[in-house]
């Protein structure tokens, strides 16, 4: 169905991800994972649904939600909560996603960043509280440069 794409060798093979998670490879799962993989990584469920319908016109929104929550439970995608109505999904193929997010309240842009300071903080907390840390989320919201410029016009 999908010939191997030349170019991006780093693109994770979504069927392999499913098999590694011991999930059956179904067209819906492959499709959703591919949509999430091929985007900038931060689509919300409605957008995923819209794109999925372009390929499978009969897919339902509830299938999309069900599949997303399964993929999330299996650790293949990560759900990002920027505010109550905006959940974004991104691929989490390495098992550990060590990046964090800046979220623009105006246009919804999501900018990823990495910071050694976050690692330092979690290491310090682990020591100080003798706590085994599983996850640390840093989500910073505000206005991106483009939206700030528009405010000043």
Question: Which of 126/138 has CB closer to Zn ion?
Answer: 138
Residue 104 sits in the site that holds Zn ion (CB under 5 A): yes
The window from 19-27, 31-39, 49-57, 107-115 that contacts Zn ion (CB under 5 A) reads: 107-115
Q: With H, G, I as helix, E, B as strand and everything else as coil, classify residue 15.
A: helix
Residue 107 sits in the site that holds Zn ion (CB under 5 A): yes
In the list 46, 54, 106, 120, the residue contacting Zn ion (rule: CB under 5 A) is 106
Each residue 112-131 as x (binds Zn ion by CB under 5 A) or -, in order, gives x-------------------
C-beta separation of 126 from 133 below 8 A: yes
| Residue 59 beta carbon to Zn ion: minimum distance, rounded to whole angstroms | 25
DSSP characters over 92-148: -TTS----EEEEETTT--EEEE--HHHHHHHHHHHHHHT--------EEEE--HHHH
Residue 90 sits in the site that holds Zn ion (CB under 5 A): yes
Distance CA 79, CA 72 (A): 7
């Amino acid at each position: 169905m999908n010939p191997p794409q030349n170019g991006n060798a780093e693109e994770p093979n979504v069927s392999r991800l499913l098999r590694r998670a011991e999930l059956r490879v179904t067209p819906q799962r492959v499709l959703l994972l591919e949509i999430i993989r091929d985007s900038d990584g931060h689509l919300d469920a409605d957008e995923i649904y819209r794109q999925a319908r372009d390929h499978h016109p009969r897919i339902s929104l509830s299938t999309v939600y069900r599949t997303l929550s399964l993929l999330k439970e299996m650790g293949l995608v990560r759900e990002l909560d920027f505010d109550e109505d905006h959940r974004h999904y991104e691929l989490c193929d390495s098992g550990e996603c060590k990046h964090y997010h800046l979220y623009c309240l105006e246009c919804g842009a999501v900018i990823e960043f990495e910071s050694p300071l976050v690692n330092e903080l979690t290491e310090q907390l682990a020591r100080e509280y003798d706590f085994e840390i599983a996850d640390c989320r840093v989500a910073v919201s505000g206005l991106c440069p483009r939206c700030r410029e528009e405010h000043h016009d």
